[in-house]
Structure 1
Amino acid sequence: MEIVAVDLGGTNARFCVARLDRGGRPVLDTPRKYRTADYPGLPAAWEAFARDIGGRVPKAASIAIAGPVEGELIHFTNSSWTIRPETLGDEMGLDQPPLLINDFAAMAAAVGVLNDDELAYIGGPEGSLPAEGVTTVIGPGTGLGVAQLLRRDGRRIVLPTEGGHLDFAALDSFEEKLLSMLRERVVRVSTERIVSGPALARIREALARLGGEAIVPQDDAAIWENAVKRTDKLADQALDRFVMSFGAVAGDLALAHGAHSVVITGGLSNRIRDRLAGPLFNDRFRAKGRFAHRMASFPIRLAIHPEPGLLGAAAAYQE
């Protein structure tokens, strides 16, 4: 059976034809990417995709959406698109309503079908992920995505969560000061205020203020570029602090989930793979007092598949 897998973000919409295989994982054709700003909505982008592949489009679809999948009208945070689930199937010419899932649920579904060589080592024991039990799936992007993947009796069950919106817990004097500075702007500081793409600028600003240094404004992309390349001292230091906080948050969530392993996903995480595999992340991940020994037993891996959103959308449909 063939379906169209779709991965919808605020900036880009990705489409591909996926062939489902009950004996294995879905096989993806070449993905195609469309800027959401260039189209009034999903049906128009769907038509462009259909035209680009020659008009022979499967009549079933699975769509991963960057946001909560609920209500009669789904709004996108970073684009003008809206989706009305009740009529979407007819608007796209499908034989049945499409499967709509949260984008991070799709990430967790992808993790469930990844091969060992698509899961890069970050920490913990070597070897494959456990065949049974819970895997915490986590990744910083515009926010902090968190989901659970439960493997039980040969099944893969995905549980979306809002783990990125837990209260942030400061663990040292710098984080206490960072927390205090953020509370000047927002009433409640969630984990994704400090562990997400935009958070790097906040951490860099806090380091500058505390060090009495001038705050030179830069956009998020430039700060990340300078941090990854280590061409800006403050950005470099901010990324180290980011990695430390990320390790602590990932460990907290793994404990809360009763997990047996952790998989990190996303483009930002892949850009800082070397730092994640170092002691800044792993020491904070394991530093859970009486549970430190248990935390050291968790395999921690990084998903390196190029299109996990599309793979996950197809895998969720197949499951």
Structure 2
Amino acid sequence: MEIVAADIGGTHARFALATIGGDKAVRLGEPFTARTAEHGGLESAWASFAAHLGRPLPTAASIAVAGNAREDVLYLTNGAWAIRPAGLAAALGLERLLLLNDFGAVAHAVAQLGEDALAHLCGPDILLPDQGVITVVGPGTGLGAAQLLRVDGHHHVIETESGHIGFAPLDEVETRIRERLGERYGRVSVERIVSGPALDDIYAALGGTPPAEDRALWTAALEGTDPLAMEALERFCLSLGSVAGDLALAHGAVGVVIGGGLGLRLRAHLPLSGFHERFLAKGRFRPRMEAMPVKLITHPQPGLLGAAVAFAAKYQA
């Protein structure tokens, strides 16, 4: 069976044709990426994908969206689009449509990915347990998180909005960052500290003046050309470690997988940062954290893959 898989984030809308086999195995076609800022909504980006292919699209689709997929109107958490599920299938010419949260889709992808697509990050270098909860979390335009529950060869995904829990500073520097962000936003969620746009705010709180183009700051931090940007990135990694560990405890997890649009970019940097120590720093629960494997997704399109895997699980019983 052929479907359209889509992964709609705050910055990019990604599409691909996906083929689902009789054993529910998914094979993705070549991905197509559109910038959300260049389209007025999903229908416009969908039409661009169809034009790119130069052929009619399948009448079944699975669309992962960066927001709460159970709302009457889906507003991208960090984007301008509004998606109305009630009329979406008709607007796109679909007979079957599955909508899900973007990190719910990533968790579905983890359920199918082999170990060759999961790089060891820290903790014991062992396979992810095949029983229990895996916390899936990662930064991009926002901060996404989901739970993957594995039981007796089956998997279940629980979508969450864990990126919007409150940020808790752990030292004087983070208190200063929290105060600055509080002045700007009021409530400060962990997403305000651990996401792509957050690096500018951390940099400013440390005394710098962010460049007009936020990607320039990320480049300077990752390439080591700006010492203050490197310090801001270290603060980012510390907070990501704290949040990943907190969510693992809250979820009762036996393993953690880092994803998100920034996850892969940080592959070489995270092991050299304070990420792991912050992940472990859970007081009396440190031994539990030390026994937990932490992996990083290396698959280039986990959102697209996971959207198709979710469709197969729902409709290919």
Q: CA RMSD in A?
A: 1.8
The structural deviation recorded for 1:199 is 1.4
1:278 Cα deviation after fit: 2.9
- Report the count of equivalent residues: 313
Aligned mate of 1:305, from 291, 295, 299: 299
Find the aligned partners of 1:44 and 1:236 in 2 and give their Cα distance: 38
Extract unaligned runs of 5+ from structure 2.
none
Separation of aligned partners in 2, 1:129 and 1:93: 40
State how far apart, in whole Å, the 1-side matches of 2:261 and 2:35 are: 18
TM (normalized to structure 1)?
A: 0.92
Q: Identity of paired residues, percent?
A: 52
Question: How far 1:156 moved relative to its partner?
Answer: 1.3
The alpha-carbon distance between structure 1 residues 78 and 227, as it changes in their structure 2 partners (threshold 3 A), is same
Cα distance, 1:27–1:280 mapped onto 2, change above 3 Å: same
> What is the aligned partner in structure 2 of residue 17 from structure 1?
17
1:3 matched to 2:12? The reply is no
Residue number in structure 1 paired with 2:67: 67
- 1:175-217 CA-to-partner distances (Å, cap 9, x unmatched) read 2222233233333221112111111112111222xxxxx6354
> Which residue matches 2:246?
252
Q: Which residue of 1 aligns with 2:112?
A: 113
Q: Any idea what SS the aligned residue of 1:94 has?
A: coil
Could you tell me how far 1:234 is from its partner in structure 2? 0.4
- How far apart are the structure 1 equivalents of 2:98 and 2:304? 13
2:80, 2:246 → 1: CA distance? Answer: 35
Asked if the contact 1:226–1:232 (Cα under 8 Å) also holds between the matched residues in 2, the reply is: yes
* Pair 1:239-2:218 in alignment: no
**8 Å Cα contact 1:63/1:99 also seen in 2:** yes
For 2:173, the equivalent position in structure 1 comes to 174
Q: Deviations over 1:73-110 (max 9, x none)?
A: 323355553322122212222223x1001111111111
Q: Write out aligned runs for 1:217-236 (5 A).
A: 217-236=211-230
Instruction: Give yes or no for contact 1:22–1:318 (8 Å, CA) kept in 2.
Output: no
Q: Where does residue 76 of structure 1 map in the other structure?
A: 76
Q: Which residue of 1 aligns with 2:163?
A: 164
Counterpart residue type for residue 234 of structure 1: L
Question: Is 1:121–1:277's contact at 8 Å kept on the other side of the alignment?
Answer: no
Q: Which moved more, 1:58-67 or 1:69-78?
A: 69-78
Distance 1:43 1:181, change over 3 A: closer
Distance 1:38-1:169 versus aligned 2 partners, 3 A rule? closer
Q: Note the alpha carbon deviations across 1:208-256, whole angstroms, 9 max, x for none.
A: 2xxxxx6354432111110000100100111111111111111111001
Q: Which has the larger radius of gyration?
A: 1
The gaps in structure 1 that reach 5 residues or longer are 209-213
Amino acid in the other structure paired with 1:34: A
Residue correspondence of structure 1 range 247-286 to structure 2 within 5 A:
247-278=241-272, 280-286=274-280
Counterpart position of 1:211:
none
Judge which range, 287-296 or 189-198, deviates more.
189-198
Alpha-carbon distance, 1:15 to partner: 1.4
